[in-house]
Amino acid sequence: MQTVSTGLKPDVHLTNSRIISLHVNGVPRIADVAPWVSLLDALRDHLDLTGTKKGCDHGQCGACTVLCDGKRILSCLTLAVMKEGAEITTIEGIAQDDVLHPLQKAFIENDAFQCGYCTPGQICSAIGMLSEGKANSRAEVKELMSGNLCRCGANTNIIDAIMEVKNARL
Amino acid sequence: MNNFNYTRAGNIQEAMSLVSQNSDAGFLAGGTNMVDLLKYNLVHPELLVDINHIPEHRGILETEDGGVQLGAFATNAETAYHPLIETRYPLLSRAILAGASAQIRNMATNGGNLLQRTRCYYFYDPNTPCNKRKPGSGCSAIGGYNRIMAILGASEDCIAVFPSDMCVALSALDAVVRIDGVDGTRSLPFAEFHRLPGNNPERDNNLQPGEIITSIDLPEKGFEKNYSYLKLRDRSSYAFALVSVATGLDLEGDVIKEARIALGGVAHKPWRIKDAEDFLAGKSPSAENFAAAAKIILNGAVGYGHNNFKIDLAKRAVVRNCLMALNPESQQPGAHPSI
Ligand SMILES: Cc1cc2nc3c(=O)[nH]c(=O)nc-3n(C[C@H](O)[C@H](O)[C@H](O)COP(=O)(O)OP(=O)(O)OC[C@H]3O[C@@H](n4cnc5c(N)ncnc54)[C@H](O)[C@@H]3O)c2cc1C
Ligand code: SF4
Ligand code: FES
Ligand code: FES
């Protein structure tokens, strides 16, 4: 561990690497991360949860979408240390034991992926979108899912899958 | 990314004193711009002070003078969907929802939105000259690829645009930025917050080092009956504006009592021309009058080659958006793709 002198108050935490605790998929987890480690890298490389994908690493594709305290966010533009104490849900945490989440089922039934790389982000984003409750039509679902790009072009089927789950809930 | 330290501030005073004591310290809000800039190695802080856990300045509140105060630490999504904003300032709600993506709006704060850096391609490429990134090195966009650059208010040193959507509406609404510093508080009218590039393009705005934005205050008038935000971009969603227009009209019968028109994507700050708004006052809301106002707004516009198209596009966007502001059909809440 490296200590940097900044002339600040002594009670400020100044060591670079630190232990943080997160609740990930309902399980308390501890990670030893430096401040510059993104939540995405902490999940994948420190907690071995590789379901969350890295597409662009710059906020431009949505592949890294996870739920933080129920809200969809981009884990690539979040530092892990910012989420100390938060509740994080990744694609690994949305099925109930062996029962798939309705969106996972709908994605399979609607053939809503090809390579599958965008799928974890799409599903986490769709869960967040449905709980926000702001999308009332197919056009609005499309607009509010625009933060998740699919480079295979499965978009039509992705929106079909989400609409199926949304309509079933009404 | 360089190695840096991180700490959470419990209140404004602590945040300010940590950052003002250390010239290599910075605030961290939603992180959607800061973390990206760290990854591009464009900022090299020694310390980041996380301001997301400060309990104050998170709300959207009615003020005594009849306006509404937007807490600097409230997220863009919380602000856009807040009932006070949806009903009294729907122009602001629509502008915020035209920006970024739902995930980013859940993270981004109101204060951070005002301070986001330009999207000029050369600013992000350390191998090219850029006066904003490295003062005195030159401007690669002049004579380079400049499709997204400014047509108004640019200088010989920088032709970048300020990319925010939210700020275009805040400009039209005459918002006021409230600022705390170690020497006390001050406020800046929105028009005086952002700067034109001039000879100091490295400075985007007039916030001083160590100062913190605490809120953005909206005056009472919200133009909730006749408003429109039009964003034109290379794809229909999740892209920065080539040109955007925020219009608020106050109509009395068939006469314009007051007009507000602000443009985004065309300059180093949201662009408002009082002469054009004064020209419209007392006139009928016709396409001819809006076109004459657009001409006044675009007076002096110059293209740099690839972005010449923006001049005509902006003129037509002003007319179209002002006509849309007359049509309640186009005024539905929520996020909408570009048309
Ligand atoms: C892929 C992508 C697409 C985007 N598209 C759009 C778009 O179409 N339209 C649009 O308008 N925006 C867009 N954005 C930009 C986004 O809106 C901004 O990044 C966001 O608003 C910044 O807010 P933040 O809270 O995340 O700021 P941060 O990244 O945390 O901070 C940004 C800067 O502001 C400083 N800061 C933050 N808060 C304060 C404060 N209260 N007082 C003093 N200093 C402060 C920080 O120190 C930092 O320098 C996009 C971003 C991405 C990544
Ligand atoms: S336009 Fe401004 S930001 Fe872009 S290269 Fe020129 S100086 Fe840099
Ligand atoms: S990896 Fe986070 S948005 Fe692309
Ligand atoms: S399924 Fe391949 S990127 Fe979407």
pLDDT at A10 over 70: no
Measured in Å, residue B267 CA sits from the centre of ligand 3 at: 28
Q: Which fold has domain A102-169?
A: DNA polymerase; domain 1 (1.10.150)
Give the pair of three-digit tokens for residue A63.
Answer: 């592949």
Strand, coil or helix: B192: helix
- Please list every residue in chain B whose beta carbon sits closer than 8 Å to the beta carbon of residue A139: 337
Q: How many domains does chain B have?
A: 2
pLDDT at A7 over 60: no
Query: What's the Cα-to-Cα distance from B293 to each of A36, B71, B244, B277, B299, rounded to whole Å?
Result: 49, 34, 16, 7, 10
Residue B318 lies in a domain: yes
Closest chain B residue to the Cα of A145, Cα to Cα: B102
Residue B38 lies in a domain: yes
Of B31, B52, B106, the CB nearest to A71: B106
What local confidence, expressed as pLDDT, does residue B328 receive? 74
Strand partners, B176: B189, B217
Measured in Å, residue B193 CA sits from the centre of ligand 2 at: 20
Give the pair of three-digit tokens for residue A45.
Answer: 């490389």
pTM confidence score: 0.96
C-alpha B142/C-alpha B187 separation (Å) is 35
Q: Looking at residue B2, which CATH number applies to its domain?
A: 3.30.43.10
pLDDT at A6 over 80: no
Query: What's the Cα-to-Cα distance from B174 to each of A18, A32, B97, B190, B261, rounded to whole Å?
Result: 44, 47, 19, 6, 11
pLDDT at B141 over 60: yes
Task: Give domain limits for chain A.
Answer: 18-93, 102-169
Question: What percent of chain B has a predicted confidence (pLDDT) above 90?
Answer: 95
pLDDT band at A169 (very low <50, low <70, confident <90, very high): confident
Per the prediction, chain B carries an average pLDDT of 97
Q: Where are the beta strands (DSSP E) in B74-211?
A: 176-181, 184-189
Q: Which of A110, A61, A4 is nearest to B103 (CA)?
A: A61
- Please list every residue in chain A whose beta carbon sits closer than 8 Å to the beta carbon of residue B240: none
Count other C-beta atoms under 10 Å from residue B29's C-beta.
Answer: 25
What local confidence, expressed as pLDDT, does residue A15 receive? 55
Read off the pLDDT of residues B220-273 as tens digits, 9 standing for 90 and up: 999 999 999 999 999 999 999 999 999 999 999 999 999 999 999 999 999 999
What CATH number should be reported for the domain whose range is A18-93? 3.10.20.30
Closest chain A residue to the Cα of B20, Cα to Cα: A8
Q: Which of A60, A64, A82, A149 to mutate to test the pocket of ligand 1 (most atoms within 8 A of CB)?
A: A60
Residue B26 lies in a domain: yes
Q: What is the dihedral of CA A16, B214, B60, B238, to 10 degrees?
A: -60
Of B35, B46, B47, the CB nearest to A79: B35
Residue B276 lies in a domain: yes
Residue B191 lies in a domain: no
Q: Is residue B160 packed enough to be buried (19+ CB in 10 Å), middle (13-18) or exposed (0-12)? A: buried
Contact B5 A14 (CB under 8 A): yes
pLDDT at B103 over 90: yes
pLDDT at A16 over 90: no
Residue B296 lies in a domain: yes
Cβ(B196)–Cβ(B155) under 8 Å?
Answer: yes
State the DSSP H helix or E strand holding residue B32, giving kind and residue range, or none if neither: none
Atom 37, ligand 1: which residue's CA is nearest? B112
Query: Which of the two residues, A27 and A13, has the higher pLDDT score?
Result: A27
Closest ligand by atom to B42 CA: 1
* Domain carrying residue B13: 1-51
